Amino acid sequence: MRHMRISSVVFGHLLVALALGCAPAAAKPAVSKPAAAAKKKRVKKAKDPKKALADGHAALTASKYAEAEALFRSAMVGKVRGAASIGLSETLLMTGRYGEAVKEANGAAKYDKAAKGDAAYFEAEALRRQGKLDEAIAVLRNVEKLPDARRARLLLGEVLIENGSRSEAETPLMTLIEDYNSDKIADTDGVALSYVGRAAHLLRSPQDANDAFNESERAKKGDIPTLLWRAELFLEKYDPGHAEEVTREVLAQAPNHPEALVWMAHVKLAQALDFDAAESLSRKALKVNPKLGHAYFVRPSACRRQAFAWRGLCYTRIGRLYCQHLLLNL
């Protein structure tokens, strides 16, 4: 039996006042192209919905979001309608259409009861990115007890932390650790192992997180969420070299992935204070997702000196959350 040691979590308050200089006061995100196109064109249903669904996931992984959206919409018929709706909600989330993502994810479980956990995850994530943390928590609480809703429990723990309830977040996060320690997660389940790694990170046990991420990559190499979580962990521990390595792996698969572009901007700043490269990367990310608060936080034009005087805070979730909330009234 494998055992993972999690140290006791001490509740503490993080200050975000020093991030005040990075508010995107004049930013006015434009409507993304896929959103405009979706309103004009009538969707033609696919002759082979299963193939369209598979092709949609391939396009989504490759960060071809307009193509992925079209394929998922065409696959929304028959038995794969629920899965296509989940894929579409993820695509809408990646391109900053959070309100649409909420509606799409909310309806997905009606077509596929097995997708209830995933539907709740994407609905809650879209709510979270709009700053509606209490609503996101309520959605996740509805599926918290489902055995297969590990990703939803992971997000629940993270949102609770962001909402100032770190001690309460331990309960859903520890379910992942307990599943690992009781061998409920197979050595071949790379995705579930990555959830364990992320849970350990959120529980302030970076070594356990790194070990779980290593196991995850041995089981499933190149998983994008895993690599992005590793990038965040490396940056928090002042290891921009390894952060660059894993972020490049993501961008090799998905050159337009907005969050990967922003993490690479962090890397450029951490390694050499390369403002021009960071500005270029964040602008590219904002073209894909104009509402990505993380991108506004890292932009040198927005928080040049304040961010680097307190560089460690730039890599914390609370700092990014602050700038994300500044976008709500844009």
Per-residue tokens: 18: 């020093």
Q: Give the largest CA-CA distance in the chain.
A: 57
What sign does the CA torsion over 296, 297, 302, 304 have? negative
Separation CA 40–CA 42 (nearest Å): 7
pLDDT digit string, tens, across residues 19-69: 334 444 344 444 445 444 445 567 778 779 999 999 999 999 999 999 999
Per-residue tokens: 64: 């071809």
Q: Which of 268, 260, 209, 206 is nearest to 237 (CA)?
A: 206
Give the model's pLDDT for residue 299. 73
Confidence of residue 111 (pLDDT cuts 50, 70, 90): confident
Give the model's pLDDT for residue 296. 87
Separation CA 142–CA 3 (nearest Å): 29
Half-sphere exposure (Cβ direction) of 177: Cα atoms closer than 13 Å: 23
Question: The whole model's pTM is what?
Answer: 0.80
Confidence of residue 262 (pLDDT cuts 50, 70, 90): very high
Per-residue tokens: 114: 């097995």
Mean pLDDT score across all residues of the chain: 84
Per-residue tokens: 173: 């996060």
Give the model's pLDDT for residue 83. 94
pLDDT digit string, tens, across residues 225-238: 999 999 999 999 99
Per-residue tokens: 90: 């993820």
Q: What is the DSSP letter of 47?
A: S
Give the model's pLDDT for residue 20. 35
CATH topology of domain 32-143: 1.25.40
* Architecture of the structural domain at 222-330: Alpha Horseshoe (1.25)
Separation CA 73–CA 223 (nearest Å): 24
Type of residue at 207: Q
Separation CA 136–CA 146 (nearest Å): 17
The proportion of the chain whose per-residue pLDDT surpasses 90, expressed as a percent, equals 68
Separation CA 100–CA 87 (nearest Å): 13
Asked whether this chain's domains 32-143 and 222-330 adopt the same fold, the reply is: yes
Between 119 and 34, residue with greater pLDDT: 119
Q: Which of 312, 306, 308 is nearest to 238 (CA)?
A: 312
Confidence of residue 246 (pLDDT cuts 50, 70, 90): very high
Give the model's pLDDT for residue 6. 43
CA distances from 209 to 6, 176, 221 (A): 10, 12, 16
pLDDT digit string, tens, across residues 265-280: 999 999 988 999 999 9
Of 86-95, 104-113, 125-134, 243-252, the range with the lowest mean pLDDT is 104-113
Alpha helices in the chain (DSSP H): 33-40, 49-61, 65-74, 81-94, 98-111, 116-129, 133-141, 150-162, 166-181, 190-202, 206-219, 224-236, 240-253, 258-272, 275-288, 293-298, 300-309, 311-314, 317-326
Give the model's pLDDT for residue 101. 97
Separation CA 42–CA 194 (nearest Å): 39
* Architecture of the structural domain at 148-220: Alpha Horseshoe (1.25)
Q: Which of 58, 66, 9, 68 is nearest to 34 (CA)?
A: 66
Domain ranges of the chain: 32-143, 148-220, 222-330
Half-sphere exposure (Cβ direction) of 277: Cα atoms closer than 13 Å: 13
Averaged pLDDT for residues 237-246? 96
Q: Which of 41, 58, 127 is nearest to 89 (CA)?
A: 127
Type of residue at 23: A
pLDDT at residue 107 is higher than 50 = yes
Give the model's pLDDT for residue 213. 98
Of 22-26, 157-161, 215-219, 293-297, the range with the lowest mean pLDDT is 22-26
Phi, psi (rounded to 5 degrees) for 23: -70, 130
